[in-house]
Structure 1
Amino acid sequence: MNARSVELFGGAERAKAADFVAERGETFLRVTKGLAPDAPVSASWYGDVPFTLATVTGLMLSETLVHGLDIARGARLPWPIGDDEASLVVGQSMPTMMAAALDPARARGVSIAFDLVIEGGPRLAVVIDDGTATVTRDAPPRAYDCRIVAAPTTFLLVAFRRTPIWKAVASGRMRAGGRKPWLAMRLGRLIASP
């Protein structure tokens, strides 16, 4: 998919990339207007994962925010990502994508329940159980092994490997607690970055 995308934007097409992205975004909004958030949407480039409109919308926002940041950093331009936008990405796309991105080989024989609290945003229950993952937004109370509390933008950038976790922890924008706080580091090893 990446090779084909690069071919689409060779030479003169690169100058029109922003227009291309804007046009495709407008097309997406037009085609999905009026659909319910839980309406099934096809995104075949991600495989056989079932998606909802809410998930795909969150993915589009994450791609725009994170890859926009990559471009801005390369061009040495500012690209602020607000906590509200980051919270939308975490709440809309992360429940589906985290479960889909689990490394089943690394998760085999592992049983950990994470309480992922995004400050001012969604709360995700991430349960790894012998090679499978279930991620539930705003799950009912239960016992967790580890609680991770993070600022929304910080979590997004750590999840996408754009900010090192040590920096997030040192700045106080991400912290672990609960019965077994040392398990927090395993979440990033069990679930591949997007």
Structure 2
Amino acid sequence: MIVEPDRDAVRAALDRESRRLIDHVRSSAHLDTPAPGLDWTAGQLVAHLCVVYRAFALAVRGDDYGEDITAHLGTGHTLPEVVASTNARALSVVSFPGPREAADGLRECADELLAALDTGPDLRAARPTPWYGTGVTRTVGTLAALSVSESVVHGYDLAGALRARPWLDERSAASAAPTVMSEMLPLLVDPARARGFTGSFEVRIRRAPRFVLQLDAGQARTVPAGGRPTASCP
């Protein structure tokens, strides 16, 4: 079970957040400053977002990924390991000579994803997402929500790198967070550490639908909210 996003709200949030990102990048003097708390520079944050928008656009359309994507997929045993490896490989080949080119590239990739969403794809349709692991699929709705989440989170990172005032639009966060968390949280559970624990937790997000995360025998799943959260551990 995932919380299905509102198509119009997510589309509007992606447009709003990508435009805000592009404006900050275009008005910056340079992009080689580090992002606080990350190993990336401002330019690498932009490159990462371009890769995300481009890959998600291909996925939403149901197109083949091609060598540009498949040649840079990472490896690992867990979702964080695979994602980190993929990011490192992608950033080794994507760069921009300056802020203007970075802003133009971000605009092009964001517009491609927005156009893909405008074709009206089934939000429940599953798409291969090999950058999350071999055989992993995510729904079109989840990819749309993830694109907003990536924009919001890295917008905050970019503001820190560019020494700009950070921003957080609650409308954007609320449109994406329930979908992202309800489908991605189960992938982040460590089966070995969760083994022997049984419990459920209701996840509440301001101005957004609730859902429940259930753990049992080292596995996690999400279900609609309604029952009382419980927890037990031998």
Q: TM-score scaled to structure 1, two decimals? A: 0.67
Check 1:15–1:106 CA distance in 2 against 1; reply closer, same or farther (3 A cut): farther
1:114 matched to 2:186: no
Question: Which runs of structure 2 are paired with 1:148-187 in the superposition (5 Å)?
Answer: none
Structure 1 residue corresponding to 2:143, chosen from 41, 56, 60: 56
Q: Is the 8 A contact 1:57 1:92 kept in 2?
A: no
Residue 13 of structure 1, CA deviation: 6.2
Check 1:21–1:10 CA distance in 2 against 1; reply closer, same or farther (3 A cut): closer
Q: CA RMSD in A?
A: 2.3
| Bigger shift: residues 13-22 or 110-119 | 13-22
1:141 matched to 2:216: no
Check 1:25–1:43 CA distance in 2 against 1; reply closer, same or farther (3 A cut): farther
Segments of 5+ residues of structure 2 without an aligned counterpart are 1-85
Structure 2 residue corresponding to 1:34, chosen from 97, 117, 120: 120
Structure 2 residue corresponding to 1:78, chosen from 118, 141, 165: 165
Residue 57 of structure 1, CA deviation: 0.7
Q: Is the 8 A contact 1:54 1:93 kept in 2?
A: no
Check 1:14–1:105 CA distance in 2 against 1; reply closer, same or farther (3 A cut): farther
| Bigger shift: residues 24-33 or 77-86 | 24-33
Q: What is the identity percentage for the equivalent residue pairs of Structure 1 and Structure 2?
A: 29
What does residue 110 of structure 2 align with? Answer: 25
Residue 144 of structure 1, CA deviation: 1.0
Structure 1 residue corresponding to 2:182, chosen from 95, 104, 121: 95
Q: Find the aligned partners of 2:208 and 2:148 in 1 and give their Cα distance.
A: 16
Residue 14 of structure 1, CA deviation: 6.4
Show CA shifts across 1:54-112 (max 9, x none). Answer: 10011111111111211111211123112221112212221111011111111111111
Question: Which runs of structure 2 are paired with 1:1-12 in the superposition (5 Å)?
Answer: 1-10=86-95, 12=97
Q: Which amino acid is 1:41 matched to?
A: R
The structure carrying a bigger strand percent of its residues is: 1
Structure 1 residue corresponding to 2:101, chosen from 5, 10, 16: 16
| Bigger shift: residues 51-60 or 116-125 | 116-125
Segments of 5+ residues of structure 1 without an aligned counterpart are 147-179, 184-194
Q: Is the 8 A contact 1:116 1:126 kept in 2?
A: yes
Which has the higher relative contact order, 1 or 2, with Cα contacts under 8 A spaced 6 or more apart?
2
SS at match of 2:173: helix
SS at match of 1:29: helix
Runs of 4+ in 1 over 4 A off after TM superposition: none
Show CA shifts across 1:108-162 (max 9, x none). Answer: 11111101111221201011112111123xx15222127xxxxxxxxxxxxxxxx
Q: TM-score scaled to structure 2, two decimals? A: 0.56
Q: Find the aligned partners of 1:19 and 1:93 in 2 and give their Cα distance.
A: 27
Residue 37 of structure 1, CA deviation: 1.3
